[in-house]
Amino acid sequence: MDDKPSFAGPKDYFALLKPRVMSLVIFTAFVGMIAAIADGAKVHPGLAAVSLLAIAVGAGASGALNMWWDADIDAVMARTIGRPIPRGLVPKSEAAGFGMLLSALSVALLALASNYVAAGLLAFTIFFYVVIYSMWLKRSTPQNIVIGGAAGALPPVVAWAAVAGHAPLDAWILFLIIFLWTPPHFWALALYREGDYARAGVPMMPNVAGEASTKKQIFGYSIILAVAGVAPYATGLGGLAYLAISSAFGAGFLMLAWRVLKSEPQSKEAPKQLFAFSILYLFALFAALLAEDIAAFYV
Residues 109-161: tens digit of each pLDDT: 999 999 999 999 999 999 999 999 999 999 999 999 999 999 999 999 999 99
Task: Tell whether 179 and 296 lie within a shared domain.
Answer: yes
DSSP string, 250-261: HHHHHHHHHHHH
What average pLDDT does the segment 173-183 reach? Answer: 98
pLDDT bucket at 201, cuts 50 / 70 / 90: confident
157, 176: one domain: no
Higher pLDDT, 270 or 193: 270
- pLDDT confidence bin for 270, thresholds 50/70/90: very high
* Distance of alpha carbon 171 from alpha carbon 38, whole angstroms: 12
More confident residue, 296 or 65: 65
Amino acid at 78: A
14, 200, 196, 197: which is closest to 89 by C-alpha?
14
- Domain count for the chain, please give it: 2
Please give the C-alpha separations between residue 7 and each of 68, 169, 227, in angstroms, as whole numbers: 16, 47, 49
Which of 250, 143, 181, 264 is CA-nearest to residue 215? 264
**Residue 87, Cβ density class (10 Å: 0-12 exposed, 13-18 middle, ≥19 buried):** middle
> Quick one: average pLDDT of 47-68?
97
* Domain match, 10 and 154 both: yes
Q: Same domain, yes or no, for 96 and 35?
A: yes
Identify the CATH number of the domain in which residue 155 sits: 1.10.357.140
How many whole angstroms separate alpha carbon 89 and alpha carbon 72? 15
Are residues 100 and 39 part of one domain?
yes
Domain hosting 63: range is 1-167
173 lies in the same domain as 130: no
| pLDDT score at 10 | 87
- Residue at a domain's end among 167, 190, 213: 167
Task: Clarify whether residues 114 and 89 are in a common domain.
Answer: yes
Residues 136 and 252 in one domain: no
Q: How far apart are CA 156 and CA 29, in angstroms?
A: 4
For 89, phi then psi, to 5°, come to -85, -35
Among residues 114, 136, 167, the one where a domain terminates is 167
C-beta of residue 172 within 8 angstroms of C-beta of residue 157: yes
Q: What is the pLDDT of residue 285?
A: 98
pLDDT of amino acid 1: 47
Lowest mean pLDDT across 43-57, 199-213, 278-292: 199-213
Same domain flag for 211 and 99: no
**Among 151, 167, 183, which residue terminates a domain?**
167
Cβ atoms 2, 91 nearer than 8 A: yes
Q: Is the pLDDT of residue 191 over 90?
A: yes
Residue 6: what pLDDT?
A: 59
Q: Verify that 86 and 179 share a domain, yes or no.
A: no
> Are the beta carbons of 237 and 289 closer than 8 angstroms?
yes
Q: Cα angle at 272 between 151 and 213, to 5 degrees?
A: 70
**pTM of the complete model:** 0.94
Residues 163 and 177 in one domain: no
Q: Position 155: which residue type?
A: P
* pLDDT confidence of residue 196: 79
Q: Are residues 125 and 240 in the same domain?
A: no
Residue 3 has pLDDT above 60, yes or no: no
